[in-house]
Amino acid sequence: MNPILWLVLTVINLYIWIIIAGAILSWLFAFNIINAGNSFVRQIAYTIDALTEPLLGPIRRVLPNLGGIDISPVILILGLLFLERMIVYYVAGAL
């Protein structure tokens, strides 16, 4: 496999896991399982938010209000999986 292709696919997969971690962390905050006053937890939440918000923000602005349900992470993950398959199809298929 092409090393650049491997790196791009690995970055996409890591970003998907960061999105999943952010969704789980938001649930843990919402149900008051994790103390938001803990500085270590707050720093992790800030980092995950800083990494995911640039792509989740525009999706949230386009989606209609669904009450308390945020499906923007699901839409972003589906888009990233589509991008990953497209890269594999066009780049790896050309080799």
pLDDT in tens, 32-78: 999 888 999 999 999 999 999 999 999 999 999 888 889 999 999 99
Average pLDDT along the chain: 93
What is the model's pLDDT at position 95? Answer: 57
What is the model's pLDDT at position 94? Answer: 63
**In this model, does residue 24 exceed pLDDT 70?**
yes
**pTM of this structure:** 0.90
Stretch (H or E) spanning 74: helix 72-87
Rg (CA), the chain: 16
In our burial notation (b when 16+ CB lie closer than 10 A, e otherwise), range 39-50 reads eeeeeebeebee
What is the model's pLDDT at position 49? Answer: 96
**In this model, does residue 1 exceed pLDDT 80?**
no
- Dihedral sign, Cα of residue 43, residue 48, residue 50, residue 53: negative
Sequence-separated (6 or more) residues with CB below 8 Å from residue 35: 41
**In this model, does residue 17 exceed pLDDT 60?**
yes
